[in-house]
Amino acid sequence: MTDLPPYLQISDLTMAYGDFVIQRDLSFTIHRGDIFIIMGGSGCGKSTLVRHMVGLKAPARGTVAYDGMSFWDANAAERARQLRRIGILYQSGALWSSMTLAENIAVPLEAYTILSPADIADVVSLKLALVGLAGFEDYYPAEISGGMRKRAGLARAMALDPDILFFDEPSAGLDPVSAKLLDDLILELRDSLGATVVVVTHELASIFAIGDDSVFLDPDRKTMIAQGAPKDLLRSCEDPTVQAFLRRGVTDKERS
Amino acid sequence: MTTTTSQIRMEQVREDVRRIGLSGSWRVNDSRADVGMELAALDRASGIQRIEVVDDGITDWDSALLTFLRALHAMSRSRGVAVDVSDLPEGVRRLLAMADSVPERTGARRSTDTVLWVTRVGARTVKGFRDLRDSVSFLGELTLAFGAMLRGRARFRRTDFWAVIQECGPEALPIISLISVLVGMILAFLGAVQLRMFGAEIFIADAVAVGMAREMGALMTAILMAGRTGAAFAARLGTMQVNEEIDALQTMGFSPMEFLVLPRALALILMMPLLAIYAVALGILGGAVVGILMLDLTPTQYYVQTVNALSLNAVVSGLIKSAVFGVLVAVSGCMQGIRCGRSASAVGDATTAAVVNAIVYIVLADSLISVIYVITGF
């Protein structure tokens, strides 16, 4: 899939809170239709990187470009148009707690489509059915479990059929079976919708199961130290930090 | 003196080797030997190259022993003295090794340097100016959102708006009723004491009517709403910030200012004058109760006197005040909520700041408006 032109290009990105640099000199491209993994140890700035990619935080330096167009240099209307092509699943779902699941999903539909209320209700129940929550339209986020909230968040992220979906630690706090189901859902979405997917995670199982391409952020050196398909990194990356991460700290010697 | 359960024995084995024998129970909740003095003595001793720590019969140990050993380690490392702990129980040695296995990340420890008071004053001042700029830009953004709404371009849910109206209008009536009646009665009592001296009890009606309409109706409503609704706004929006709900709005292309702040500000600006009128009416009622029951005025007398005392100006000036207070309560509540940090304590801080700021703003604005009224003769 790498013969397609790059969809999302990060060049020379430096992220900082005030004077405190989190990561510097990040450059990588995400290709259309790929499942791209952002990995690295805890606290290395994975989620912050996503905040830069979806327009929540402006970079200290460098650019984030969709289809060759720099997001942060564009005007407000252009940015808003770009944001409508993005779907994000937040760590805890981030559902609006004062609205039912159906209302949560209906908000973007009401704002950005010309669908009638009846059509919106149909789309809402379709999206909920896709994530296995058929019949939960009238529940409030506080009334369902954490795993269900996450799936409902995914349904909301998919409301406008986005071109690119961001997942912030999708399997955090899920049991292994639910985490596996979510991985399958991500693969299915990519294959059926043709969406590009960016996943922040440090779950090895899902990294190898779904990742086509990846970037590895190191909190100590404050930059990216590897990129490529996770399976290739496991085989051929020589950096000890990356190897330790991908093998849960187990070296080859201990394995044999 | 209490007997200690742990013992330290110092022994000079050779000229450059000091042996420390440990015995007894080394537990956190035991009364232990004063290790500080021993460490200080060791620190003063010169010529020691090596310290051997030996087990003279340690019966029991926990973190207490480990902290002593780590302090010993730190001291000896800074003096280039080797410490041999190979005689101690295996568990102790393994835990010590574990604590040393990951070296302290350089720069991770927060510096606790004492800061000069000049620096603190400076930092506070800079922060004060930044807060002021924040408030002004928040007001600006809110104004733009109002503009967008007038052009029909603001995006927020009508149902949210009605829910807020319900929340800060009808649902506030019970507490407003109680306080207004009581304030009206208090005004009447205060006035009665003075006016009775002149036999001018009937003017109680004037005092209560004008006092409520010009001042107390708007002021009491505003302070109640700051504590009731302003705090609720800050807590609600702050929790949304903690849950990334506000991020979710932004990344879907909604402006939190239009979606969350605008309906709340609008609802308060509309409801506050209505609540104030209601408060004035109930205050006058409270005053009438005192006047009729205690001062032997007839209801008709009181009514006629009140109607004569109340001018349209008095009522309108109170209404203008209460609308301004509505903006202030909404702005300070919403602003603290939106700017809230991402922890539970930040939500608490935001709520406190929302109420305190709102009350300060209300009192300042009240003084300013009263001065303007006096100057313009309104």
Q: With H, G, I as helix, E, B as strand and everything else as coil, classify residue A61.
A: strand
Q: What single-letter DSSP state applies at residue B3? A: P
Under CATH, domain B6-101 is a member of which superfamily? STAS domain (3.30.750.24)
Sign of the torsion formed by the C-alpha atoms of B313, B314, B318 and B319: negative
Q: How far from A15 is each of A47, A133, A214, B185, CA to CA, in Å?
A: 11, 37, 19, 61
For residue B147, give the amino acid letter.
Answer: G
List, for residues B319-345, the tens digit of each pLDDT value.
Answer: 999 999 999 999 999 999 999 988 889
| Among the listed residues B333, B169, B327, B153, the one whose alpha carbon sits nearest the alpha carbon of residue A80 | B153
State the best of B106, B164, B244, B254 to mutate against chain A, taking most chain A CBs within 10 Å.
B244
- d(Cα A94, Cα A152) in Å, to the nearest integer? 10
List, for residues A186-232, the tens digit of each pLDDT value.
Answer: 898 888 888 899 999 888 888 998 999 999 998 888 888 888 898 88
First to last CA, chain B: 80
The pLDDT of residue A256 is 44
Q: With H, G, I as helix, E, B as strand and everything else as coil, classify residue A40.
A: strand
Distance (Å) from the C-alpha of residue B151 to the closest C-alpha of chain A?
16
Q: Kindly list the domain boundaries of chain A, sorted by start residue.
A: 1-85+164-173+197-251
Sign of the torsion formed by the C-alpha atoms of B116, B117, B118 and B124: positive
Confidence of residue B1 (pLDDT cuts 50, 70, 90): very low
List, for residues B263-272, the tens digit of each pLDDT value.
Answer: 999 999 999 9
| Contact state of B160 with A84 under an 8 Å Cβ cutoff | no
Residue B2 has pLDDT above 70, yes or no: no
B248 touches chain A (CB under 8 A): yes
- Tell the residue number behind the tokens 């009605």, with chain if given: B162
Nearest residue of chain B to residue A103 (CA atoms) = B157
Residue B36 has pLDDT above 80, yes or no: no
- From chain A, the residues in CB contact with B239 under 8 A are 97
**Please, which residues 157-216 of chain B have a Cβ atom closer than 8 Å to chain A?**
157, 160, 163
**Please, which residues 115-174 of chain A have a Cβ atom closer than 8 Å to chain B?**
156
Strand pairing of B17-26 and A213-218? unpaired
Residue A17 has pLDDT above 90, yes or no: no
- d(Cα B202, Cα B198) in Å, to the nearest integer? 11
| Contact state of B240 with A54 under an 8 Å Cβ cutoff | no
For residues A204 and A248, is the Cβ–Cβ distance under 8 A? yes
In the structure encoding, which two tokens stand for residue B46, read together? 């010169």
Backbone angles phi, psi at A65, to 5 degrees: -120, 125
Cβ-proximal residues to B97 (8 Å cutoff; 6+ apart), any chain: none
For residues B56 and B19, is the Cβ–Cβ distance under 8 A? no
| Among the listed residues A116, A134, A126, A8, the one whose alpha carbon sits nearest the alpha carbon of residue A71 | A8
Predicted complex ipTM = 0.83
Q: Kindly list the domain boundaries of chain B, sorted by start residue.
A: 6-101, 142-376
**Number of other residues whose CB lies within 10 A of the CB of residue B292:** 15
- From chain A, the residues in CB contact with B245 under 8 A are 94-97
Tell me the CATH architecture of domain A1-85+164-173+197-251. 3-Layer(aba) Sandwich (3.40)
Q: With H, G, I as helix, E, B as strand and everything else as coil, classify residue B340.
A: coil
Nearest residue of chain A to residue B157 (CA atoms) = A107
pTM of the model: 0.79
| Contact state of B243 with A54 under an 8 Å Cβ cutoff | no
